[in-house]
Chains A and B, each alone.
Chain A
Amino acid sequence: MTLSILIWLPLAIGLLAGLLPRGLIGRGAAVGSLITLGVAVSFVARFELGHAGLQFVTDKVWISALGIHYKLGLDGLNIALILLTAVLFSASLIWASFREWDRPRIFYFQLGLAQSAVLGAFCAQDLALFVAFFDLMLIPFYFLIGIWGSGERVRATTKLVVYTLVGSFFMLAAAIATGVLASNEHGTPITFVISALQHLPLSHTSQDWIFLCFAVAFLVKMPLVPFHGWLADGYKSMPIPAVAVFSGVLSKVAAYGFLRIVLPMFPYASVHYQTLMLLIALASILWGTAVAFTTSDARLVVAYSSVAQLGFITLGIFSLSSQGGQGALLQMVNHGLVTAPTFFIVAALAARVDGSEDLREMGGIAVRAPVLASLFLIVALATLAMPGSSNFAGEFLILLGVFKAKLVISVIGFVGVVGASFYALRLFIRSMHNRTGEKVASRDLGIAEAAAIAPLVLVILVLAFYPQFVLRRTEPTLTRTVAPALLASRHWFSCPPGCPPGSTAYAPLTASAP
């Protein structure tokens, strides 16, 4: 069984479900997503531990004239993320299948296309293929918000698409430049295969501007602080199944892009801009925490907490250390697992407050909803990284990594850990306890809500007991991923920017080239 099956299965299911009678399309798509989940689990089960290299490689020439390959593969960086993708899309589709949607055929087709594109972006081992999937995964969300969204949906979706595609176009230019310049500087035929490009490092000046183009694309997608203009409108307008996967998975593709592409391919630029990236991450943590604590909109609390969490993940990545990277990867999984059920819970809360997502109108919902309250509490405690949760392990590893690299930033970063407990508990208390709101009609979870929330909470609990499940699979690859950057940072002190490129700077890296 090849990875192509995993990638294209959701799209095929999205198309085939459209052939079913109108009432059964949602059920069909949900069952199909469970099949996809089964396929993803089978890949994880067959994944061999202790290997740093790619497994299950598919490598075919896609466009020979450009040296672009249809190359897919799994390693420690993406194995956990494809499982996360399958889990969250299943939960979203189950949630969606219990509800009525206008024009259901197109709705489930868009969700299937989105899942295929996200899985493709995670599995792609060719730079051009990655860029194609990265841009493609945005298009279904353009329609999901624009057709099924709420409020100012057209404005919100246009804003989202323009923001992210502007970043993507920079990335497109940068990706092509990477391929062309690498072949020019080393006199080799043009290629976009990532593993080949890693052995063809670019000159420092090229790395610098190409790094910035990639960084803009990824930072917009996450989003981190100066690039988060689309966030509030976008998250507010998205239908719940879309926002759960968008926040849970799509933002991770961007963070994953730093690990897969930027760190190994542009190690010198990564070191050069390390402080800048750490400061952006720190600003996101503080800003996201502050807004999440002050906004009265339940959905925006979750949205801005995502900004803070992605700030943590970026902090881990740009600590340029193995622990930081491990923590970042673990935290990507953790955050995906907590943010998606939180959005479902917010929707469940809104359903009990006459559709309002305003925290001021909530309160006292726990009275007749013990199951909802307990599930919510587990998710909230995981969000604030309670010791014993997997999120605690993730944040600990991240801060450990940063501690070794930049002490001051690590210390300020701790504020974010404290802040998380403020906004997570505030969200819980304001909605579940306090005085009962006027419009509140408390009732416990229905099957339509529990079907999506309960399994995710179960996964959170399992991972809390056994975070090594992720860590053991990611470790060997991560050590290799950060190695060039570590090397570059060591070299940085002996050869600051401006010293002649080539010569000694490349020697240790190119030594391993075939």
Chain B
Amino acid sequence: MSIVPLAAYHGAAHIAGPYIDWRGLSPMVALTAGGLIVLLVGLLRSEVVRNQVVPALTLATFGATIGLAIWRFNDPASIVSGALRIDDLALELDMLFAAAGIATVLLSWRARAPRESGHGEYHALLIFSVLGMAALVSAQNLITLFIGLELLSIPLYILCASETRREGSLESGLKYLVIGSVGSATLVYGLALVYGSTGSTEFTGIGAAVSQGKLAGGVLGNPMLLTGLGLVIVGFAFKASVAPFHQWTPDVYEGAPTPITAFMATATKAAALGVFLRFFDVAAISAQNQWAPLIAAIAAITIVVGNVGALGQSSMKRMLGYSGVAQAGYMLVGVVVGSQLGIQATVLYLLIYLAMNMAAFAVVIAAERESEVGDDISSLAGLGARQPWLAWPMTVAMLGLAGIPGTVGFIGKFQLIHALVAGSYTWLAIVLVIGSMLSLGYYLRVVAAMWMRGAAAVPAGAPAAAAPFAPIAGGSPEADDRAADPHFGSPLEQAPAQQPEPPEPARPRPELAGVALLFGAAIVFFGVFPSPLFSLAAHAGQAISGLF
């Protein structure tokens, strides 16, 4: 069946639709079918079906996607008339999205959001969002790119608002919708200008037009192309929450249901950076001298803004949101250098970033469900003594994000700095190093809270932990339930009465502890034996170089 691309061209000449290589498309087919099935099964009224079967089917869908992606690995193909390219980069990112999806399903197993918005809808939207991401990172022309982006975004707008009886969640969804739409609109303008100046919607066509200087006055002299590229950067920057287009991130992350926050922090970010790599290192690579300084400046700003912003946060979700902004800045440097090494460094860091953030969010969710201070950092106080199986993954995740050796975070930072120095961006490497130093301030605070403060001692000790509730009303469902219950006093009156009581016995949450421990173990294991990650990253890097 080596006739794929040829058949596609022949098909285009006649009226018949393009030839479709179903094998190459199979991961996406699995996602589409799974999403529809989950949606339909979710309509059944049985409690068991909704609570157990729907999540299980979702897990099966993501599992099948990963399996099919592994099957198609090492076998790059352009499919659907060259609209999509299923190469190792796309497949690796598909696996990453599906893994994030699996973790999200597990994290929301007993959460409030699926109960309120309907299990079928919640899980189907999650699957369709992953489908959008898969389309986005495989896109080979501007149309597919935009369709993928919208398919990934629109389900997320809804998912953010899926705790329909909580004001914060609705606010978060609306905020994300408005800002996401602004981002999409900017991107569409940019794409239109790029098309207008190069006369092609295909990435290869754009690349050829840019490199051959077909444009009037050459690349440098064409303000239309440069404006277009600038707008595209802004559009992507909104999605990747890169400064100065990151302001929505902490608010939306804080308001959204925490499993969805975890999903957005990992998968959405990976998709946005994947498309950064695709678009700038394939379509616009010849104009590198024009966009690289701009992206380098944005990356530097992002690193500083994210790290400084995170320093003052007491809400774990906000803190992780700002930390995600900073980490997006680190990952952008792989795009800036525009080299094999840069692509490898970014892909490597994306894989690592998934593990570190998922481990952290799993613990945040577990702690948030048991505490009455929501996702405030004080909910983690004394966790090392109470629930060490949650505290250890959180500890390695924080140390990993800070880049301490013995964790994958060190390996990732090492490779990023390596790519920067080799690409003659030593100044950006210094910015990255300074950002890492700033980040110690907030990552270590979390570790200190878990191990070095008793649960009772925290409100006095932690300077930033002022309000027992998250700033947005109802930061925690349990807290709201209790506050609404007339038998409970106000939380402030309760606090002193709570202290003499022994700590609440830990309720078993095997799925949360499982996710945390699995990713925590991965952080340490791949920190000591990083070679498999490097070979995965090398595959992804080769996928892009194969194009030119």
Contact = CB atoms under 8 A, between A and B. Distances in A.
Contact of A173 (B384, B433, B461, B530): B433
B195 interface: no
Contact of A169 (B344, B437, B530): B437
A106 B451 CA distance: 11
Nearest to B435: A169
Contacts of A184: 422
Contact of B530 (A63, A139, A180): A63
B444 interface: yes
Interface string B427-463: 0011001001100110011011001110000000100
Interface in A127-178: 128, 131-133, 135-136, 139, 142-143, 146-147, 153-154, 157-158, 161-162, 165-166, 169-170, 172-173, 176-177
Interface string A293-327: 00000000000000000000000000000000000
Contacts of A103: 385
A156 to B, nearest CB: 11
Interface residues on B, range: 35 or more
A173 B429 CA distance: 7
A173 B385 contact: no
Give chain A's interface secondary structure class. helix
B538 interface: yes
Contact of B421 (A132, A142, A143, A176): A176
Nearest to B527: A132
Contact of A65 (B417, B426, B445, B538): B538
B414 A172 contact: yes
B417 A166 contact: no
Nearest to A143: B451
Nearest to B344: A65
Given A63-B530, A132-B406, A172 B440 contact: no
Contact of B413 (A65, A157, A172): A172
Contact of B452 (A136, A153, A169): A153
B414 A128 contact: yes
Contact of A63 (B440, B447, B534): B534
Nearest to B395: A143
B305 to A, nearest CB: 19
A128 B430 CA distance: 18
A179 B341 CA distance: 15
Interface in B123-162: none
B369 interface: no
B405 interface: yes
A161 B445 CA distance: 12
A12 interface: no
B418 A176 contact: yes
B532 to A, nearest CB: 11
B448 A136 contact: no
Nearest to B432: A173
A132 to B, nearest CB: 4
A166 B405 contact: no
Contact of B430 (A153, A161, A166, A173): A173
Nearest to A149: B452
B2 interface: no
A429 interface: no
Given A161-B444, A176-B421, A64 B531 contact: yes
B232 interface: no
B189 interface: no
A66 B406 contact: no
B251 to A, nearest CB: 29
B404 interface: yes
Nearest to B529: A62
A432 to B, nearest CB: 36
Contacts of B530: 63
Contacts of B421: 173, 176-177, 180-181
B528 to A, nearest CB: 9
A172 B433 contact: yes
A414 to B, nearest CB: 39
A166 B403 CA distance: 12
Interface of B: 344, 384-385, 399, 402-406, 410-411, 413-415, 417-418, 421-422, 426, 429-430, 433, 436-437, 440-441, 444-445, 447-448, 451-453, 461, 530-531, 534-535, 537-538
Given A173-B417, A177-B426, A180-B421, 18 more contacts: A63-B411, A64-B531, A65-B534, A133-B405, A136-B405, A139-B406, A146-B448, A146-B451, A147-B451, A157-B448, A157-B452, A158-B445, A162-B437, A176-B417, A176-B418, A177-B421, A177-B429, A184-B422
Interface of A: 63-66, 103, 106, 128, 131-133, 135-136, 139, 142-143, 146-147, 153-154, 157-158, 161-162, 165-166, 169-170, 172-173, 176-177, 179-181, 184
10 nearest CB pairs, A to B: A132-B405, A146-B452, A65-B534, A180-B421, A136-B405, A169-B433, A135-B405, A176-B417, A173-B433, A166-B437
